[in-house]
């Protein structure tokens, strides 16, 4: 994932530096004396992190005017459309009614909102930005996406994974012919700064 980020961003950054560090976020330490990040980003994985500890780390390693961006757009599990509802039912027919998550167990909603975590951190000046995103999926892209999720990764299906993927392809092809595999998502960015900081 870090290699992909490096390769994708390299041509876009020009002379601007960017660093990628393979470490748990809360355990990050600056790579050199005087290091100060201007931006710390967390996407969907923020849900799984010890959020107060991550925000404390961000306060320790960032420049005075730095920001923290928490962002995400939900998933096909939560997106409301007939094709995603039918896909969810198919997944549940194999794995049971609960949404799977992690290495074992079921998904649980966060006990509190990200805005509340930010409000209790050094980065309590929060603005929300909502960006509409329309995705047109293909059956192959959806199946590939499912392989990368915690709720439908191959290991959960065991020996039945190939059969599940065949059924998913058929279901998605049918929906694709009828109404298309359209996802109208909203990508939400919570941009947080220290109160009184530079903008």
Range(s) of the domain holding residue 46: 2-193
> Is residue 11, in this structure, part of any structural domain at all?
yes
DSSP annotation of 159: G
> Is residue 86, in this structure, part of any structural domain at all?
yes
> Is residue 167, in this structure, part of any structural domain at all?
yes
State in Å, rounded, how far the first CA of the chain is from the last one. 30
Answer yes or no: are the C-beta atoms of 45 and 63 closer than 8 Å. Answer: no
pLDDT at 30: 92
Q: Which two tokens stand for residue 19?
A: 């660093």
- pLDDT tens figures, 7-51: 888 888 888 887 788 899 999 999 899 999 999 999 888 888 899
- pLDDT tens figures, 68-123: 999 999 889 889 999 999 999 999 999 998 888 766 676 666 678 999 999 999 99
- Identify which of 24, 78, 21 has the alpha carbon closest to the alpha carbon of residue 46: 24
CATH number at residue 63: 3.40.50.150
Distances (CA, A) of 62 to 38, 118, 190: 6, 15, 17
Taken as a whole, the chain contains a residue count of: 199
**Can you give the pTM of this predicted structure?**
0.82
- Identify which of 157, 182, 185 has the alpha carbon closest to the alpha carbon of residue 72: 185
* Whether pLDDT at 135 is above 90: yes
> Is residue 198, in this structure, part of any structural domain at all?
no
- Identify which of 48, 103, 89, 95 has the alpha carbon closest to the alpha carbon of residue 70: 48
d(CA 101, CA 27): 23
d(CA 160, CA 15): 49
* Whether pLDDT at 163 is above 90: yes
> Is residue 172, in this structure, part of any structural domain at all?
yes
* Whether pLDDT at 124 is above 80: yes
pLDDT at 198: 62
Per-residue confidence at 145, pLDDT binned at 50, 70, 90? Answer: very high
> Is residue 199, in this structure, part of any structural domain at all?
no
Instruction: Give residues with Cβ within 8 angstroms of 161, minimum separation 6.
Output: 154
pLDDT at 3: 82
Answer yes or no: are the C-beta atoms of 136 and 88 closer than 8 Å. Answer: no
- Dihedrals φ, ψ of 137, to 5°? -95, 155
141's enclosing H/E stretch is helix 139-147
Per-residue confidence at 181, pLDDT binned at 50, 70, 90? Answer: very high
* Whether pLDDT at 199 is above 60: no
Into how many domains does the chain fold? 1
> Is residue 8, in this structure, part of any structural domain at all?
yes
Strands 62-72 and 37-42: parallel
d(CA 47, CA 150): 13
């Amino acid at each position: 994932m870090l290699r992909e980020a490096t390769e994708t961003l390299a041509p876009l950054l020009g002379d601007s530096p960017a660093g990628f560090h393979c470490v748990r976020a809360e355990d990050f330490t600056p790579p050199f004396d005087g290091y100060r990040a201007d931006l710390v980003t967390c996407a969907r994985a923020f849900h799984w992190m010890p959020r107060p500890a991550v925000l404390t780390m961000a306060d320790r390693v960032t420049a005075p005017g730095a920001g923290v961006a928490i962002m995400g757009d939900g998933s096909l599990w939560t997106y409301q459309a007939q094709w995603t509802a039918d896909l969810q039912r198919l997944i549940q027919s194999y794995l049971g009614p609960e949404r799977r998550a992690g290495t074992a167990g079921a998904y649980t909603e966060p006990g509190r909102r990200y805005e509340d975590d930010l409000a209790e951190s050094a980065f309590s000046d929060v603005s929300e930005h909502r960006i509409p995103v329309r995705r047109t999926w293909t059956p192959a892209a959806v199946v590939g996406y499912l392989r990368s999720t915690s709720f439908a990764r191959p290991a959960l299906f065991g020996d039945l994974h190939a059969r599940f993927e065949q059924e998913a392809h058929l279901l998605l092809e049918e929906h694709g012919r009828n109404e298309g595999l359209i996802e109208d998502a909203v990508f939400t960015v919570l941009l947080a700064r220290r109160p009184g900081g530079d903008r």
